[in-house]
Structure 1
Amino acid sequence: MQEMFFHYIWRLQYFEHQHLFTVKGESVSVIYPGIYNTNAGPDFFNAKILIGEMEWHGHVEIHVQASDWYKHQHQEDEAYDNVVLHVVWEADRSVYRMEGSEIATVELKGKIPLSLFQKYERMQQDQAIPCEYLCQEVPEILWTSMKERVLIERLEEKANQIHLLKEYCHGDWEQVALWVLGKSLGAPLNQEPFVELSKRVPFQAVKKLKENEMQLEALYFGQSGLLLPCQEQAYAQKLIREHQYLFHKYKLSPALSPVIWQQGRMRTPSLPTVRIAQLIGLITQKDHLFQECMLSSKFQDIKALLDVEVPSYWQTHYHFGKVRKKGTGKISVTMKARIAANGVVPLLVAYGQYQGNERCMEQGIQLLESLPPEDNKYIRLWKEMGLKVENAFDVQAYLQLYKKYCAEKQCLRCVVGCAILK
């Protein structure tokens, strides 16, 4: 038995109301169950409860065992002095306020439908999706409603990260866009190293060196820590010398340690050296990255935005001294879709929030709907349940639903979970 389940039962009043009495034998009628409180303090605020002949206005506290009142030390917290009803599964003892008066207690054992318990217990078992065997009961409109809700949650979470980044970049949205695209190129394993790399590459230096591709390579590869002194390959040596010059000219921070980068068991297109080369291609061939992101509303726009050539060396190599067997080093179509979903769309939402422009959210959702769906182990779980995954909108929604609700067994906060229990 979980207390959260009791919160759900009380909030929706899913229990037998007839012959409801306190443990002292006084009749109880719920006029208004109160406002659910997810912060500190009593579980439900401002309830209206008729106990005997008297109507009480105050708070309601929920526990599995009445003695939990003392385990949680509510008797020492004046915030609980205005509790007018204690609702429990089992009333194993009486409870009192700080000033010594006893609080009316209602025991719900035997008053909650058995089918609710059975469904809830089944949803708390170890399957990856708690409602895996019950979801066919849920109308499609409720799935749609939940998907829309969690998608907005996910976009707002990512937008909040971008707002923090904007503060770090002193409000320069062009720099923010470059950082966001770099982080997206690093996904999934090298996102944080790309953020750290951006911190060690001054944006003013990037703008000044924009027309000099070789110096940009020296700047980025030198600061990444991947340009090692022991490399004897001629091109690497050239970049090392150039990096030493730039290091003193721009008073650069120390380079990253190469061990920060994930490179093992990684396909060639995902190697950090290749991704850095692609980022340099974006810098040298796109004059207004942020503006182009803001104008993107369909996948074709993203394809055009990210259709850049890597520096000539990286068209034939994937690491210093290591020749590429195939490909040109350009960003793949699949990766372009991921960058759009995880970088460009959150950037649109964040800028829309900054400007107070709700149309940016609509544009971001429109862009997601135009992107092909990603295939990963989480999305395959939903497909195996017979649910449609048609585009990146569905992917982002199902990822959020799984990670924030299913994996954490937050069924009682989910529209689908509540519908199944109801």
Structure 2
Amino acid sequence: MDEYFLQFLWKFQKLEGKPLVLTNKEVLEVYHPGHQNFDSGPDFRDARLKIGELMWSGSVEIHYRSSDWKRHGHLDDQAYHNVVLHVVWNHDQDITIDGQPIPTLELARYAPKDLQAEYRRYINQPEDIRCGKVLHQVPNIQITTLLDRSLAARLEAKSQTVLTTLAACGNDWEETTYRTLAANFGFKTNKEAMLKLSTSLPYKVLRKHQQQPTQLFALLFGMSGWLNDTPTDDYSQALQREFQFLQKKYSLSPLLEKHLWKHARMRPANFPAVRLAQFGAVLHAHQQLFDAVTHIHSLKDAQSLLHQPLPDYWKEHMDLGKPATKPMTIGKSAISIIIINTVAPILAAYAQYIGEVSYLELAQELMESLPAERNKITKKWTELGISLESAADSQAALHQFQHFCQMKKCLHCNIGLTILHRK
């Protein structure tokens, strides 16, 4: 039995064979199991219990084994010193706080056998989405509520990533926006390489050359490692000359190795050099990136911010010295992905940072205005009859799958909880 199941048993008091007797032979009466805590610290807070003849109020911690208390590092953690009951499946070791034993309840003696069997059957299904076979029985309002909560959690997680970057950038929103946008112009395949580029090439340096395209692109391609090879055309040669001068001027190092950029199984429109050029075009168009993002009022504004004309060379090349057979302009789907992963999270993070809900509402509005993403995970949901109409829906579905379905946290999901609660 995993701890999710034990938490479920305790939270809803799915126990039989009462009265409950602790390992020290005292009788336990549960007046309130406490409020489940999903942050750090004990699993349940503000429980009200009667142990023997005494009333207790405090936290409840749940483990598979009693010895997990030490294994999880709770012995020296003050957050666990107000625990009044240790609930375990298997009591294998007495645990003390300040020399006093913690009252312990061994759940294995009280868990209904039929519920254990049902949970094992449910959680061990081969399908990724374990509720899939009965999902059609779940009321639409419950699914809608679940997706709404998942979208809020998704935006919160993404905004926290932005705020972490902000802290690393000394609370500089322009630098933060630059790094976030760079990473997402790398998309999934070259995200790490683009992030390394943005951290090794500060925005304050780039901003001095944003209005000179040759210098701007020389810095981007030079720091990316593209200009290490012998130039094959006049444009590459011009970039190399500019970069050699600027590298010395700003003492820029280290350069990325070109092999860090991935091209395998990729269409020319997605080649890293093309994405880097498209990123450069956005930088050239906006002297202040963060200011441009916070002045968006609609989806059209967001799309216009990212859809910028490329220099003539990059309209017809897929790499330095390599002509393309068709224009390398950025597509609508790519712009949508960048809005989802950059623009909306920055707006949500800024809303939290200054306490202005209108930016969060705009982030949600952008997501609701974009079409749903199509990928392997969203396909799993649509095949089960779940309608995903907007990016808000698809982002919610992705969050639910990644943070609940894949992790087998069915008992932390309202749908899984409903299904098992009625057993």
- What TM-score bracket applies, with the shorter chain setting the length? 0.7 to 0.9
Cα distance between partner residues in 1 of 2:169 and 2:66: 53
In the alignment, structure 1 residue 29 sits paired with structure 2 residue 45: no
Question: In 2 relative to 1, CA 375–244 (structure 1 residues): closer, same or farther, beyond 3 Å?
Answer: same
- Return 134-143 or 116-125, whichever deviates more: 116-125
Judge conservation of contact 2:86–2:102 (CA < 8 Å) in 1.
Answer: no
Aligned match of 2:305: 305
Q: Deviations over 1:161-181 (max 9, x none)?
A: 222333344433333333322
Report the Cα offset of residue 24 of structure 1: 8.0
Aligned match of 1:240: 240
Give 2:360's aligned amino acid. Answer: M
Aligned match of 2:408: 409
Report the Cα offset of residue 136 of structure 1: 2.7
Judge conservation of contact 1:97–1:103 (CA < 8 Å) in 2.
Answer: no
Question: In 2 relative to 1, CA 85–336 (structure 1 residues): closer, same or farther, beyond 3 Å?
Answer: closer
Question: In 2 relative to 1, CA 13–221 (structure 1 residues): closer, same or farther, beyond 3 Å?
Answer: same
Give 1:340's aligned amino acid. Answer: I
Give 2:286's aligned amino acid. Answer: K
- Return 390-399 or 229-238, whichever deviates more: 229-238
1:189 aligned counterpart, secondary structure? helix
Cα distance between partner residues in 2 of 1:41 and 1:168: 26
Judge conservation of contact 1:87–1:108 (CA < 8 Å) in 2.
Answer: no
Report the Cα offset of residue 241 of structure 1: 1.5
Report the Cα offset of residue 419 of structure 1: 1.5
Question: In 2 relative to 1, CA 204–121 (structure 1 residues): closer, same or farther, beyond 3 Å?
Answer: same
Aligned match of 2:362: 363
Report the Cα offset of residue 315 of structure 1: 0.8
- Return 256-265 or 178-187, whichever deviates more: 178-187
TM-score (ref. length: structure 1): 0.87
In the alignment, structure 1 residue 8 sits paired with structure 2 residue 4: no
Cα distance between partner residues in 1 of 2:195 and 2:346: 15
Q: How does 1:161-240 map to 2 (within 5 A)?
A: 161-240=161-240
Q: Deviations over 1:69-120 (max 9, x none)?
A: 79889999999887665545567x7957575769464655465262464145
Judge conservation of contact 2:17–2:110 (CA < 8 Å) in 1.
Answer: no
Q: How does 1:221-370 map to 2 (within 5 A)?
A: 221-326=221-326, 328-370=327-369
- Return 268-277 or 205-214, whichever deviates more: 205-214
Q: Deviations over 1:223-280 (max 9, x none)?
A: 1101233333332122112211111122222321111111122111111110111112
Question: In 2 relative to 1, CA 110–96 (structure 1 residues): closer, same or farther, beyond 3 Å?
Answer: closer
TM-score (ref. length: structure 2): 0.87
Aligned match of 1:123: 123
1:30 aligned counterpart, secondary structure? strand
Give 2:295's aligned amino acid. Answer: L
Judge conservation of contact 1:154–1:396 (CA < 8 Å) in 2.
Answer: yes
Report the Cα offset of residue 362 of structure 1: 1.0
Aligned match of 1:385: 384
Aligned match of 1:400: 399
Q: Deviations over 1:386-420 (max 9, x none)?
A: 11111110111111111111111111222222122
Question: In 2 relative to 1, CA 96–141 (structure 1 residues): closer, same or farther, beyond 3 Å?
Answer: same
Q: Whose Rg is larger?
A: 1
Give 1:208's aligned amino acid. Answer: K
- Return 112-121 or 381-390, whichever deviates more: 112-121
- Return 203-212 or 357-366, whichever deviates more: 203-212
Give 1:392's aligned amino acid. Answer: A
Aligned match of 1:132: 132
Cα distance between partner residues in 2 of 1:384 and 1:223: 45
Cα distance between partner residues in 1 of 2:67 and 2:212: 72
Cα distance between partner residues in 2 of 1:170 and 1:72: 33
Aligned match of 1:157: 157
Question: In 2 relative to 1, CA 246–126 (structure 1 residues): closer, same or farther, beyond 3 Å?
Answer: same
- Return 220-229 or 33-42, whichever deviates more: 33-42
Give aligned-pair identity as a percent. 35
Judge conservation of contact 1:23–1:107 (CA < 8 Å) in 2.
Answer: no
Cα distance between partner residues in 1 of 2:101 and 2:178: 63
Report the Cα offset of residue 129 of structure 1: 1.7
Number of residue-to-residue matches in the alignment: 420
Cα distance between partner residues in 2 of 1:201 and 1:67: 49
Judge conservation of contact 2:129–2:405 (CA < 8 Å) in 1.
Answer: yes
Judge conservation of contact 1:158–1:346 (CA < 8 Å) in 2.
Answer: yes
Q: How does 1:51-90 map to 2 (within 5 A)?
A: 51=51, 55-57=55-57, 59-64=59-64, 85=85, 87-89=87-89
Judge conservation of contact 2:377–2:398 (CA < 8 Å) in 1.
Answer: yes
Cα distance between partner residues in 2 of 1:72 and 1:176: 35
1:134 aligned counterpart, secondary structure? helix
Report the Cα offset of residue 193 of structure 1: 1.2
Question: In 2 relative to 1, CA 116–131 (structure 1 residues): closer, same or farther, beyond 3 Å?
Answer: farther
- Return 127-136 or 239-248, whichever deviates more: 127-136
Give 1:396's aligned amino acid. Answer: Q
- Return 412-421 or 329-338, whichever deviates more: 412-421
Question: In 2 relative to 1, CA 280–78 (structure 1 residues): closer, same or farther, beyond 3 Å?
Answer: closer
Q: What 5-or-longer segments of structure 2 have no aligned partner?
A: none
> Cα RMSD (Å) of the superposition?
3.2
Q: What 5-or-longer segments of structure 1 have no aligned partner?
A: none
Cα distance between partner residues in 2 of 1:101 and 1:287: 64
Judge conservation of contact 2:351–2:358 (CA < 8 Å) in 1.
Answer: yes
Aligned match of 2:371: 372
Report the Cα offset of residue 374 of structure 1: 1.2
Judge conservation of contact 2:23–2:103 (CA < 8 Å) in 1.
Answer: no
Judge conservation of contact 1:48–1:57 (CA < 8 Å) in 2.
Answer: yes
